[in-house]
Structure 1
Amino acid sequence: MNILSSLRDRVARLAAWDELDVEVSALPSHAVRLSDVSVLDALADVTALANDAARLQAVLAGVAAQRSRREDGAGGLAAGQGFATPASLIQSITGGTKADASRQVRVGVALLEGIERVPDSTDGDDPAAAPALPSTPWHEPLRVALLDGRLTSVQSDAIRVGLGEPVVAGRSAARSAVNEAWTLAAEGLIIEATGMPVEELGKRARIIRDLLDPTGAEERFARRYENRAYRAWIDADGQRHARITYDDEMGLWVDAILDAALRPRRGGPRFVTAGERESAAHLRDDPRTNEQLAYDLLMDLVRAGSLATASDVFGTRQPGVRLVMVNDIAGPRDAFGRLIDTGHAENGGDALPGSVIDRAICVTGTVTITTDRHGNPLDLGRTHRTYTARQTLALAARDGGCMWTGCTRPASYCEAHHIDPYSEGGRTDIDRGILLCRHHHMTLHNHGWKISRDGRADFLLHPPGGATPVTLTSKAAWKWAWDPPPPPECTTWRTVTSA
């Protein structure tokens, strides 16, 4: 559809609500009269309208950037308006942040990639003068998805920046294969983008980049490690400040420390011992903010040092970073003997290079979970009411976190839910359990939702009232190992190693 026609149609849809077809000053008092259904429908239409406008804005930002190239000097569009960069020009027009303007320019430049600049507006009036695109780049699916409305400009930029540019040396055949891999990754992320927060989408793109390029992952890890830093200063009022730049591994450790201490305040699992429940109640009732609690905890760690036992500081739930790897930990290896592969933090899926995996295995050892070719762990069924620690570990390896659509809660914040009620004879088996965060576990039990599964097919989330069920997919960053699964004739079982 013509972009301007689409914008007009969406405005016409919004005008159908009398509550919205009012003077701007009267909009708040009239909008509150909308029904719940109308609020949701209007929000969907406004969002679609904004996305159409953002696509148009990105293209125009790209044109502005194309006419503001360095070689244009003072004759460039941005320089002619008194701005040093195209992003500065865009920011002055939109009134947004520098980051937003820079993103609009990046997306716009990507949309115009391969299209030669039209010398002046007169030539631009001739449709026949529009140039053709060159050979297809790896990120062409992003351009197409953005233009046809399957991606927003923010989502497209998150995927493009997260995947980065493939670095290929050697024969053209190798370059073609690598570009194809990046193209397939982009296509997969376009599908996953629906309902996924853009921060998570960018993170998933970075994880896939490290999976595709494990050698580069080692280099990127080393670069971030070199950037580690601690800086402290005192402001004019005498307040002391500090700024820490973490390396990947220690950043995960600090996250684990804070998660272990603050989990009850952040919606962690409820099924704990009486002592843990009492401790959690004290923490929930503590008048300090989460930020103050985190600070006090870190200062306690600094004071206690090696003199305190872990339980003195953390209680029964001690911190740790569990790493998951889907591969053979024996190789291949580089000239330095480092594993050429990537593993993942169980919470969040952050990719870590083979050298970190090797060190973790050396220090802590491994737990092996065997799965079928669809990623289902080998059945560890029990007759107990609750899932065992080993079963929960297997669920974490399969699900990667809360399986509710759109939820990004990590595995350590989740509870194992019986899709077949235990009170009705349901067994505590791996294939009949699923990870849900506390909020969504309570939503399911209290508001008429249900999860079903036919054998070992996909889990289905059934909304109350008989609405169309939603297919739930694993949140694990390592699910590439079985999604899509191998062909039916392949009977090889895979092994997930957790360090």
Structure 2
Amino acid sequence: MATFTDVAALIPTLCGQLVDGGDADFAQASMMLMTDADVVKVLEETAAVAQQVEQIQVAAAGVIDVRSKRERGHSGLSAARGHRSAAALIQDVTGSTKADANRKARVGEALLDDEPGPVDGAAPQPEDVGASDERPTPSPWFQPLRDALRDGRLTSSQFDAIRRGLGELPEIDSDPLDADAIACAREEARAAWAEAAEQLVDEAAARTVEELWQQARTIRDLLDPEGAEARYLERFENRSFRTYRGQDGQKRASMALDDEGDLFIETVMAAALRPRRGGPRFVDADEKERAAALTDDPRTNDQLAYDLIMDVIRAGALADAENVFGTRQAGVRLVQTVDADGKTASVAHSEDYLVSVPGAVAEQRICDSGSVTVTVDSCGNPLDVGREQRLFTSKQRIALAIRDGGCRWRGCDRPASYCEAHHIDEWDRDKGRTDIDRGILLCRYHHMTLHHGGWRITRREKEDFVLHHPSGETFVMRPRAVLTYAWGGIDPPPKRFRPAA
């Protein structure tokens, strides 16, 4: 087995600095003497090595998973070694969590070709080499994910998040179609899912794993609206709330939320706890005083959340919500597209977190609380712009939230309700106008980072925003892929598919 020094030799910035027998403490002491830039470089280099090692580990996990299938019984690899499953064997060997072991097994199996490999590790026979069916098997829709993982553009966690989010191809309703039409429809579906995978691979470097999963799930629902409604209704049927008493005698509760309930709970929590979680600073005097009081509150966030839920329940019983929320009422804002011909999209999404819901849910909310119309182009850029005042109006903030979907800073997943509107043209220095196309949503932290850290953002007309580091390095602030799908900005526009009855 390689020693610590052998592994450290693979890191260029550390190479030659560690003596034989040096351990982690020695390496850390050496890094304490390095410049900031070199320490970051060490982290980047170790991440690159770790990603390559993980590829090998994931590949081994996939083979173990295949050789441990249930149909092999006690002769399967994991069973023969006394483990219930491949994940249990992987967890035992790697010391990882059960969730991580299952992920490695899933990703590893997905990397394998569909054709079965040699049984029990036997070497492939000469007659097997080059053998193929008369008709070549098309590559799976997640082939772009395979390629990106193998060439280092994706980690296994990103691969798993995108693949799970996009799910499986919809079954094509074969009733009115002949065999050729069915085959054509299936190929169109495969191509559409592959294109979505490529879009998300391009975004992976700028998104968290959690946001990649949510975007993939929402894109899947936009491509498959009927399947989206079925999945929504299934989760709705699975909603539950129960109480039970723990061994210590304290009463506890457990909830399984449907999609709409999930959004509502998140919005309620955000409205009440946003000052603690880093919400926007630009609020009126009363709200600023309330935010300061909440920040200084000695209760933990979990205790505050519990008290909030109890207050909401009491407010519902007493119909006195103002005592709970003050002027900042909680509510879920949904976005639904209507094309130039007046046709309404069959899938809507939430302004925060970009969670998809059936169009019927949005229509129900319109009846209940009304709607605000925002005219946008195919890239989500609002067309009604140009306000001659210092701050963005509430309607302009709605338009920015619809276009940006949250903080646009690279790698940030803060939702729109946590963001502040930044003018990329300074009001005094650049004589900037408060136009929507010259504004961008940034969370409080990244807004302060930009103003106090020497960063800046530029934009040519309505092209992508560009983030400039003080060193001169630039980053394109890509729009979220799910919004590109929602506005029909994919060329050609993605097809919608009908699942089997």
Give the structure-2-normalised TM-score.
0.89
How far apart in 2 are the matches of 1:107 and 1:406?
A: 23
How far apart in 1 are the matches of 2:285 and 2:45?
A: 49
Q: Which residue of 2 aligns with 1:52?
A: 52
| Cα distance per residue 1:397-429 (max 9 Å; x no partner) | 111111111111111111111111112321111
How far apart in 1 are the matches of 2:159 and 2:67?
A: 23
Conserved 8 A contact 1:379-1:429 = no
Report the alpha carbon displacement of residue 73 of structure 1 after superposing the two structures with TM: 2.3
Secondary structure of the corresponding residue to residue 191 of structure 1? helix
More relative contact order, 1 or 2 (CA 8 Å, 6+ apart): 2
| Cα distance per residue 1:10-44 (max 9 Å; x no partner) | 81525425159722343333332222111111111
How far apart in 2 are the matches of 1:272 and 1:430?
A: 20
How far apart in 2 are the matches of 1:155 and 1:405?
A: 16
Q: Which residue of 1 aligns with 2:499?
A: none
Conserved 8 A contact 2:279-2:419 = yes
Conserved 8 A contact 2:218-2:355 = yes
Secondary structure of the corresponding residue to residue 443 of structure 1? helix
Q: Which residue of 2 aligns with 1:390?
A: 395
User: Cα 1:128–1:26, aligned 2, differ >3 Å: closer, same or farther?
Assistant: farther
Q: Which residue of 2 aligns with 1:4?
A: none
Report the alpha carbon displacement of residue 213 of structure 1 after superposing the two structures with TM: 0.7
Secondary structure of the corresponding residue to residue 262 of structure 1? helix
Q: Which residue of 1 aligns with 2:15?
A: 16
The aligned amino acid for 2:358 is P
Report the alpha carbon displacement of residue 189 of structure 1 after superposing the two structures with TM: 0.9
User: Cα 1:483–1:342, aligned 2, differ >3 Å: closer, same or farther?
Assistant: closer
Is 1:163 matched up with 2:166? yes
Conserved 8 A contact 1:326-1:478 = no
Comparing 277-286 with 62-71, which one deviates more in the overlay?
Answer: 62-71
How far apart in 2 are the matches of 1:204 and 1:140?
A: 19
User: Cα 1:66–1:159, aligned 2, differ >3 Å: closer, same or farther?
Assistant: same
Aligned pair count? 475
Report the alpha carbon displacement of residue 80 of structure 1 after superposing the two structures with TM: 1.4
Q: After the TM superposition, which residues 113-192 of structure 1 pair with which residues of structure 2 at under 5 Å, given as runs?
A: 113-119=113-119, 121=121, 123-124=123-124, 129=129, 134-169=137-172, 170=174, 171-192=182-203
Report the alpha carbon displacement of residue 321 of structure 1 after superposing the two structures with TM: 0.5
Report the alpha carbon displacement of residue 331 of structure 1 after superposing the two structures with TM: 8.3
Report the alpha carbon displacement of residue 58 of structure 1 after superposing the two structures with TM: 1.2
Q: CA RMSD in A?
A: 2.6
Conserved 8 A contact 1:215-1:340 = no
Report the alpha carbon displacement of residue 375 of structure 1 after superposing the two structures with TM: 2.2
How far apart in 1 are the matches of 2:13 and 2:416?
A: 41
Q: Which residue of 2 aligns with 1:454?
A: 460
Report the alpha carbon displacement of residue 181 of structure 1 after superposing the two structures with TM: 0.7
Q: Which residue of 2 aligns with 1:469?
A: 474
Conserved 8 A contact 2:379-2:487 = yes
Identify which of 350, 353, 368 aligns with 1:363. 368
The aligned amino acid for 1:28 is Q
Q: After the TM superposition, which residues 379-458 of structure 1 pair with which residues of structure 2 at under 5 Å, given as runs?
A: 379-424=384-429, 425-458=431-464
Conserved 8 A contact 1:67-1:117 = no
Q: Which runs of 5+ in 1 are unaligned?
A: 1-6, 333-338, 491-499
Q: Which runs of 5+ in 2 are unaligned?
A: 1-5, 175-181, 494-501
Secondary structure of the corresponding residue to residue 206 of structure 2? coil
Report the alpha carbon displacement of residue 287 of structure 1 after superposing the two structures with TM: 0.9
Report the alpha carbon displacement of residue 101 of structure 1 after superposing the two structures with TM: 1.2
The aligned amino acid for 1:392 is R
Q: After the TM superposition, which residues 250-269 of structure 1 pair with which residues of structure 2 at under 5 Å, given as runs?
A: 250-269=261-280
Give the structure-1-normalised TM-score.
0.89
The aligned amino acid for 2:166 is L
Secondary structure of the corresponding residue to residue 193 of structure 1? helix
Percent identity over the alignment is 48
Q: Which residue of 2 aligns with 1:497?
A: none
Q: Which residue of 1 aligns with 2:207?
A: 196
Q: Which residue of 1 aligns with 2:248?
A: 237
Secondary structure of the corresponding residue to residue 375 of structure 2? strand
Is 1:75 matched up with 2:75? yes
| Cα distance per residue 1:341-390 (max 9 Å; x no partner) | 21111001000112211211111222111123332101332221111000
User: Cα 1:330–1:457, aligned 2, differ >3 Å: closer, same or farther?
Assistant: closer
Conserved 8 A contact 2:67-2:120 = no
Report the alpha carbon displacement of residue 477 of structure 1 after superposing the two structures with TM: 3.2
How far apart in 2 are the matches of 1:159 and 1:45?
A: 25
How far apart in 2 are the matches of 1:27 and 1:355?
A: 59
How far apart in 2 are the matches of 1:368 and 1:441?
A: 28
The aligned amino acid for 1:413 is Y
User: Cα 1:65–1:369, aligned 2, differ >3 Å: closer, same or farther?
Assistant: same
Q: After the TM superposition, which residues 317-332 of structure 1 pair with which residues of structure 2 at under 5 Å, given as runs?
A: 317-328=328-339
Conserved 8 A contact 1:331-1:340 = no
